[in-house]
Amino acid sequence: MSEGYSNIIKNGLWDNNIVLKQSLALCPLLAVTSSATNGLGLGLATLVVMVASNLINSMAKGVISKTVRIPVNVIIIATLVTLTDALLNAYLHQLHKVLGLFIPLIVTNCAILGRVESFASRSKVFPSLVDGVFMGIGFTWVLTVLGAIREIIGSGTLFTNASLLLGPHFAFLETTIIPDYRGLLLIILPPGGFIMLGLGLALKQKLEAVWQENKQRQSGMVPEGDM
C-alpha cells in the first residue's frame, strides 16, 4: 500500500509531472510565469481545483453513469473554478486582477480533467485525494520555479509584490537578487517562457539519463569503461 502511495507521489512531483512529462497546461504556464508570485498564485488555485475535483469524482463515481461522466466532470470542475475565482476576487483581489482570465480558464486545463478521468474515476477516495494533491503540487512547483528564474533573469527580483498579491504575511518573500539590474525584457515576455521551458525540459531529460546510468552502473549492467 505504501509503495502505491509512493508511486503516486513520485508521479505527481516528477515522473509524470503535468508540465515536464505530460506537456499540459502550457498556455497559462507561459503567460503567467513572468514572476514567481504569479506562478505560485495560479499554481495554488489549480491545486485546490484539482484536489477537490479528484475527491468529488472519486466519491461520486458509483452514482455517475459512464455515458454522462465526462459532461458531469466538466460541470464539477467548472463549479469549483467559479468558487475559486469568487474567493480569490474577494480575499486576494490584487492577485485576481493579475491572473485575470487564466483563473476561469482553469476549466479548460486538460490536466485536471485528465486526472479525473484516468485516476479518480477508477480509484478509491484516499488515493484520488493523494493524486490530486501531488499532481497539483507538481504543477505548482514548476510554475513557481519557472516564474522565479524568469523574474530573476528578467528583472533581478524574486517574488515581487508578494505582499500585495498574496497578502501581507508573504512580504518576507520579496527579495532583490541583483541590485541596480536593468533587466532582460525578453525573458519576461512569452518568448522567454518558451526558451526557459525548453531548457527545463532538456534539463529534466538529462538528469533522468544520468540517474539511469548511475543505477545501471551500480547494478553492474554498464561496465565502467562504457560510461
Structure confidence by residue, pLDDT tens digits, 148-171: 999 999 999 999 989 888 888 888
Distance CA 81, CA 172 (A): 29
pLDDT averaged over every residue in the chain: 89
Is pLDDT above 90 for 64?
Answer: no
Structure confidence by residue, pLDDT tens digits, 34-60: 999 999 999 999 999 999 999 999 999
> pTM of the full predicted structure?
0.90
Mean pLDDT, residues 5-28 taken together: 90
For the segment 4-8, the average pLDDT, to the nearest whole number, is 90
pLDDT of residue 95: 85
Lowest-pLDDT choice from 9-18, 77-86, 128-137, 162-171 = 162-171
Query: Is the per-residue pLDDT at 6 higher than 80?
Result: yes
Grid cell at residue 168: 501581507
The secondary element (H helix, E strand) that includes residue 196 is: helix 190-218
Q: Which of 42, 44, 45 is nearest to 31 (CA)?
A: 42
